[in-house]
Structure formats: C-alpha cells, structure tokens
Amino acid sequence: KPPAPRPHRELSADYYSKKCPQLETLVGSVTSQRFKEVPISAPATIRLFFHDCFVEGCDGSILIETKKGSKKLAEREAYENKELREEGFDSIIKAKALVESHCPSLVSCSDILAIAARDFIHLAGGPYYQVKKGRWDGKRSTAKNVPPNIPRSNSTVDQLIKLFASKGLTVEELVVLSGSHTIGFAHCKNFLGRLYDYKGTKRPDPSLDQRLLKELRMSCPFSGGSSGVVLPLDATTPFVFDNGYFTGLGTNMGLLGSDQALFLDPRTKPIALEMARDKQKFLKAFGDAMDKMGSIGVKRGKRHGEIRTDCRVFL
C-alpha cells in the first residue's frame, strides 16, 4: 500500500508540542494581562481574527503593514479594515514578541492570532475550545482583495449567506458567529442610515426599538456628530460573552442592520431564536464555529507560506 499523502491543509492541536510546548502558556500570559489592563483588546482581537480568515484565509495577512512610500496598500489600509482597533494588533505584537523570545522563528503569526482570539473569548465569559494549529503566514496582503470578502453593516441576509457559503460556512454558522457581536462597539456611521433615512424612506428603520432609537439619535446626530463615538453592539452586556446579543435581537435592539436582519429572515430567525433561548447551546456552537472559521484557506509549507518573525512585515 502506498504511503498516505501527507495532509497539507490539516491543523492539529499538538502541532507545537515538540517545537514549542509552552506556546499557549506564553500567549495566555499576554492575553490575560491585556484583558485586565485593556479589556477592549478582547473584541478588537476577535474581530481581527475574523477579518484575517475571510481575506486570503487565516494566514496573518491582516497584520502586514504597508511599506513606507509604497503605493501597494496592505489589507489593513482597506476601508473595511479602518476601524479595526489598534488594541487588537498590539495584543498580537506583544504575544509574538514573548513567543519569539522563547521559540524563535517557530510559531506563525496566524497561529498566535487564533490562540489569542480564543483566549479573549474565554476571558470575556465565552467558551474555551482547543485551537488547532499549523497555519503558515501568507505572502500576500492587498487592500484590493478586502471589499468582496468582508460583509457590511447593511448587507442583506442573502448576501451574508452567500459570502459565508463561499468560505465553507453554513447558515447556522453565520448566525452563531454573528453572536460575536455580544461584545464590542460600532461607530455611528455603521448604523446612521437606520436612525434617519432607512433605505431612502427618510424614516427610521421600523425594526428598531423606539426607546433605543431615541438614545442612539442623541449619541449620533444626523450630521456634525463626532466620528469617534461608538455604541455597544449588545446594549445589555457589551463586555460579557453571553447570548445577550440574541435576546436583544428578539426585542428589536440589534444595532446593525445586518444583525437585526438575521431576526427577520425565515432562514436565520429560528437559529437566532434558539441561541436566545439556550445560552449553553450558543456557547458550544460558537466554539465549534470558530474552530471551522479558523481553518479557512489555511496554508502549509514554504511554497505558499512563511513563519514571520515580525508579524507586520514579510520575511
């Protein structure tokens, strides 16, 4: 019998057990300290991981900085990535520095990002799941690749389902992963249309709670507001990783149009209802879905990948 071909795209939980056995402890010391000192690092890093995996796969392409004076903009510079918080990038840079000091040139930035995202989910009260590892860092990061791969706050359910399907994710996984919006914040411009001129009606979105509408309008005036204002995606518990996002959708408290839409479409509503009803079920499903998202477009080997030493620059 010929030897089984070496699986190229498969990740494993014990990938670094010989090369760098203390890896998760090292990353964990950085994430737990960051969570205490800069708790906003949690939503920042989770979103960073999502935006990495959806563009070129989970390969650390989001971490690359545009070369000084270069006209070829890296992914970070794309409009869709402008609001990724610095706190997420900083957490990965710090974790990478500690890992490099113990296991030089052995651990990819993409694996560190996957571990850090899991840590922050757990620290915020979410599930703890095993992170499979063995990702190599990608050799491309281009702003132009970003727009077709990152959903927008006014994407329709149809568009969301198609985009997630193109990444191998199901409708259930779309709904469950959107549950990440149980922590973190959004800028006014991402929901302003819902407050003043919903789909060109000059009226607010009817699927938005009246009291919440008043509050949102106060923080986010139609014009002349400060571009720095952010409001919680989950109005009830913006720092706790629970199913508050889904119970909120049930009372018309979704902040983004794309969030509330999940509760209006017959394909996604039953799933959102189930997650609102059963917190444990959500947490378990979320861990499973993150594992799957973390395996999108994974690269292995020198042809397509590298192990960066500085996550911001190609080798």
Position 118 contacts ligand HEM (CB under 6 A): no
Q: Which of ligand HEM, Ca ion, none does residue 59 bind to, with CB < 5 to 8 Å depending on kind?
A: Ca ion
User: In which residue are the tokens 């939503």 written?
Assistant: 43
Closer residue to ligand HEM in complex, CB, 100/259 = 259
Closer residue to Ca ion in complex, CB, 104/315 = 315
Closest by CA position to 75, among listed 139, 163, 146, 148: 146
User: In which residue are the tokens 């609102």 written?
Assistant: 276
- The helix (H) or strand (E) run that includes residue 162 is helix 157-166
Q: Which of ligand HEM, Ca ion, none does residue 94 bind to, with CB < 5 to 8 Å depending on kind?
A: none
Closer residue to ligand HEM in complex, CB, 118/308 = 118
Position 177 contacts ligand HEM (CB under 6 A): yes
Query: In b/e form, how buried is each residue of 5-24, taking b as 16+ CB within 10 angstroms?
Result: eeeeeebeeebbeeebeebb
How far is the C-alpha of 62 from the C-alpha of 146, rounded, in Å?
10
74-113 footprint of ligand HEM as x/- string (CB under 6 A): ---------x-x----------------------------
How far is the C-alpha of 39 from the C-alpha of 42, rounded, in Å?
6
Residue 51 among the catalytic residues:
yes
How far is the C-alpha of 5 from the C-alpha of 222, rounded, in Å?
59
Of 8, 51, 122, 187, the catalytic one is 51
Binding-site size for ligand HEM (CB under 6 A) equals 24
Q: Which of Ca ion, ligand HEM, none does residue 234 bind to, with CB < 5 to 8 Å depending on kind?
A: Ca ion
How far is the C-alpha of 45 from the C-alpha of 113, rounded, in Å?
8
Q: How many CB atoms lie within 10 A of CB 71?
A: 6
In the Cβ-directed half-sphere of 292, how many Cα atoms lie within 13 Å?
17
Closer residue to ligand HEM in complex, CB, 178/295 = 178
Closer residue to ligand HEM in complex, CB, 83/288 = 83
Which residues contact Ca ion (rule: CB under 5 A)? 52, 55-56, 59, 61, 182, 234, 237, 240, 242, 244
Q: What is the set of active-site residues?
A: 51
For binding to ligand HEM (CB under 6 A), which residues are involved?
43-44, 46-47, 50, 83, 85, 151-153, 155, 160, 177-178, 180-181, 183-187, 190, 256, 258
